[in-house]
Every structure is written in C-alpha cells, then in structure tokens.
Chains A and B, each alone.
Chain A
Amino acid sequence: MEEPVKILEFDVLVVGGGIAGGESALNLANLGYKVLLVEKELSIGGKMILLSKVFPTLDCSACITTPKVSEIARHSNITILTGAEPLKITKKGPHHFEALILQKPRYVNIPDCTGCQLCEEACPVSVTDEYQYGLVGRKAAYIPFSIASPRAAAIDIENCTLCGACERVCPTQCIDFTQTEEQIPVSVKSVVLATGFNLFDPLKIPRYGYGKFKNVLTSIQMERQLAPTRPFNAILRPGDGKMPDNIAYVLCTGSRDKSIGNPICSQICCMYSIKQAQLLMGALPMADVTIYYLHIRAFGKGFNEFYAQAQDMGVEFTKGKVGKITEKENGNLILRYEDIETGKVKESEHDMVVLSVGVIPNEGIQEMFNNDDLQLDPYHFVDQSDILASPAKTSIEGVFVAGTATGPMDIPDSILSGGAASAETISYLRRVTS
C-alpha cells in the first residue's frame, strides 16, 4: 500500500449517513463547516430511504429522503465516503481528533459511472439482494437500489466470478478491479456519531419459525413489499407466490422481552405495524389484517388518531401474546397465543405472518475510540451524558451523538436529534475559535 501523502482536514466527521447523520451534516455544511460524512453502506439515506411510507401522515418515505440525500450529495461543504467506516478515532487534544477511515474497494469509479445498468444486465451471477432483505436476487455487479446515492454500480467481490463481462459492456470503463482497500487518515475538530440501529433478528426466537416457515416474514420485508421499488409484482407470500388474504402481525418481536436480552420498547413497532396494516388494506381490499399486541403505544403527535383510523378501516386488534407459530401443509400458519383479555390460550390461522421486529444497538462504536472511553447505556446504545441539558453530548468532549445511536426513536425524533447534534457541535466549534 502507498504511503498516505497528506492528512485531510475537516471541521466535523459525521459517522453514519442515515437521516440523523444526514441532517447533522447538512446543518453543519449550510453554516459553512467542512464535513466528512462516512457511511458503511454503498448508499447514504440509511434505513429511511428503503421504507414505503411514514406514519402517521402516510407521506412517501423516499419522496422525503431523496431530495435531502441529493442536497447532501451535492453540497460543496460535504465530502461523502460510502462503503467506508472509521477504524479508529483518536483524541489528540481539545478540538483535535485524528481518525483513520477504512475505504473498502467498490471496484467502480463513482464519478465515471452513469448508472446505465449495462454491467448489471451482463453479470451472470445472481445472489440474494440484501437491500430487498433477501426476498429476491441481485447481480454481483449491481446498483444497490434504484434511488441509491450515489447511483453508481458496485462489484460484490465475494460473489464475483471475475468473468469480466461487466467491464466489457461498460461504456465509460469505470469498472476497476485493481482497486484495493485504503486507509485514509483525517484530522477533524469534532465528531458526530449517527450510527443508527439494527433490526432484531427473529432467528433468535425459533418458536416463531422465521427462516423455516417461508410465509413468516419480518416487518422490513413487508415494508419492501409495500414500497414502489418492491421485490415482487404484487404483495405475495414468499413461500409460494400466493396473494395473502389473512395477515397477522406479531408486535414486540424481540422487544420488551428479557428472555432474548432486549427488555426495552422499540418505540416504532406499534406505529409501523398500524401503518403497514392500513397500506395493506389499501393494496389488498379483500384481506383481513390482525395485529396481536401487548399494549398499543400511540404516544406521538397524531398517533392515536392514526390508530383509531386503522380500527375504523377494519384492522383487527387482538390483545394477545403469541407463544408459538406452526405451519400447515398449504403454507398457512397457526398462531398459538394467550388471549390477554380472557386469559385463555387460543389458536388462529393466517396465511401470512409479519414479525414486527424491534430495535437493537449497533455494535463496535465504542471500539472505534482509541484513547477515550465512549460510554454506553445499559442497553448498549451510546450514552447521553447530559440528556436533559445537552442531549447530544457523549462521555467524550467534542463527540456528539444523533438519532437512533442513542436508543430507539422514530423518524421525526431522529431528525430533531440530528438537528440538536449539529447545534451542539457548532456551539462547541465556536467556543474553540472565539
């Protein structure tokens, strides 16, 4: 590897290009600060860019995210690295951090790629598409998803047969298999952590049969089915392509459950399930939708009205704790649950089950910090050291936190939190220079 020639300098390093990190970066950049935005995925936009609609307004999620994402991408004060993550961040002194960024090879020169997708067409390989959450395939030469930013191809080297077909059809010769991993040293004055969250993996609850029963899917898989850039031609059962007409939602999957190590509420699964139920009633007018819940937590602005609207539309709400799911030969599923109102154990049949999965912290953030202790809360989210007076403050001076890196929250709260983090960062930077 070549020796780094010079250390790049920025005012702020924003780790994570989701909606919270994006909001922070944009605010900072609009006020003239130079921002380096580092995103580990191939596109910025986080999880929000992949959603269908948002609650409780039912606005199109992509229509809100994409203009913001293009503004971030085009901003002269923002430098974006996708497919990259900080290896280590070292505090050198007050208002001085040095970070080493790992840039993984994309094997495509982003500025030269026109997004024509000819490489995608030429690639003979088909593997599971992670951006459609495993419902469909994708090529090894691929654009992550249609509204990705940058809208540029990438080569999945792990699944590439090195046949060279992509290169032969590429009109701009932007594919470059000679790219290697790079470590980029940067110097910044402050850091904003917007590392987001993970969704709970329901394989950890084997009694729900996820993975084994193909018509049990996660809420994010249903979200993809409801999005305009959906994986199938309609809303269909992944098990056999049947159009479902009796769908169940199991709320609190992997949330409020000490047995799987996550005792806290996801704060979103009630509302996104109610939203999906409403969208399903629109997309499949003949379908029955039943939501099995422990408590409906419709606490935000307009949430309770949204819940009432779902009830008015005919969504069935059953206060019940689902214990086990079994599969019938025709792919239908039997839910065995405790009816909390009567205390009786009951069974019901559905032809598709959606597990409303919870919010889990991203691991490995603490380890990025070389010589300082980034404190986490008891649930492994980034600890807000002064939550009431300065909610973006962390245990390290000059390192701020935004969005779901601090804990579960919905989209409006994430954006607010991103705003707060940028304001606190600016206040910190101004204290330096004045």
Chain B
Amino acid sequence: MDAEKGKTAKFLKGTRTVPREVTEQLKYFTKTKNQLIKVLKEGEKTIPQLSEILGLPTDEVMFQLMSLLKYGNVQAADMDDRDEYFYYKLKDDDKNKS
C-alpha cells in the first residue's frame, strides 16, 4: 500500500498502536515544560528555587530544564552570589509564546 509522502505517520497509525507510557510521558513533559516556562516568565530562577516553587525534586528540575536549554527555550544567566548555582531565564524569541 502506498502512503502519500508527508502523511506517512497516518499510514503507520493504521497498524501500530502508540503505547500508553509514551502518551503519558508526552503529557508529563508538556506539563512540566509549561510549568517551568510559566515560572521563568516571572523572572530568573536557580534549580533549587524552581524545585521549591514547583514541588519537584531538584534532579528532575535539572533534567527537564537542561532539556529545555538544549531545545532552545531557556538560557543560562549569571551565577548566584555564592557562585554555586546558575540562574536560568527564558530565551527572548517566540518559542515560549504558546
């Protein structure tokens, strides 16, 4: 069976079921991403600060925030007064508008 170029995902959907964990993981990432972006819209934060505000473990915030840094949503700012933690802020482009 031929699938139209550019619309082949639809074709595979006919034969392959997306596992539940995958959709759950997507929901979790989207939720955490939106939460982090929302908090960072109010100003620069360090990982421990974000962890406290969101009630998420620091290693989890670290992982998700570093992913957002890689994806280009977030950038690093200065370090705190004790030179221990970086502040992170949103990138000034339209990536974070949604």
* Bound Cα distance A176, B16 (Å): 14
A-B CB contact pairs (8 Å), 23 listed? A124-B29, A124-B30, A125-B22, A125-B26, A126-B64, A126-B71, A136-B63, A138-B70, A159-B22, A161-B23, A161-B26, A162-B16, A175-B6, A176-B8, A177-B9, A178-B3, A214-B59, A232-B69, A233-B66, A236-B86, A239-B59, A239-B62, A240-B58
The interface on chain B, measured as residues whose beta carbon lies within 8 A of the other chain's beta carbons, has a size of 44
CB distance from B34 to the nearest CB of A (A): 12
Residues on B with C-beta less than 8 A from A237 are 62
CB distance from B32 to the nearest CB of A (A): 9
Residues on B with C-beta less than 8 A from A243 are 79, 83-86
B63-A137 in contact (CB<8A): yes
Q: Is the interface of B mostly helix, strand, loop or mixed?
A: helix
Given the known A-B contacts A162-B13, A178-B3, A241-B47, are A125 and B63 also in contact in the complex, defined by CB atoms under 8 Å? Answer: no
Interface residues of A in 101-141 (CB under 8 A from B): 121, 124-127, 135-139
Q: Which residue of A lies closest to B13 (CB)?
A: A162
B59-A240 in contact (CB<8A): yes
Q: Which residue of B lies closest to A215 (CB)?
A: B59
The interface on chain A, measured as residues whose beta carbon lies within 8 A of the other chain's beta carbons, has a size of 41
Q: Which residue of A lies closest to B79 (CB)?
A: A243
Question: Interface residues, chain B, CB within 8 Å of chain A?
Answer: 3, 5-13, 16, 18-19, 22-23, 25-26, 29-30, 33, 46-48, 51, 58-59, 61-67, 69-72, 75-76, 79, 83-86
A238-B59 in contact (CB<8A): yes
A167-B66 in contact (CB<8A): no
Judge whether A163 is part of the interface by a CB distance below 8 angstroms: yes
Question: Interface residues, chain A, CB within 8 Å of chain B?
Answer: 121, 124-127, 135-139, 157-164, 166-168, 170, 173, 175-178, 214, 231-234, 236-243, 331
B6-A241 in contact (CB<8A): no
CB distance from A219 to the nearest CB of B (A): 19
* Bound Cα distance A136, B69 (Å): 10
B12-A233 in contact (CB<8A): no
Q: Could you say which of B33, B46, B69, B71 contacts A233, with CB atoms under 8 Å apart?
A: B69
B59-A177 in contact (CB<8A): no
Given the known A-B contacts A160-B18, A160-B22, are A177 and B66 also in contact in the complex, defined by CB atoms under 8 Å? Answer: no
A233-B9 in contact (CB<8A): no
* Bound Cα distance A157, B25 (Å): 14
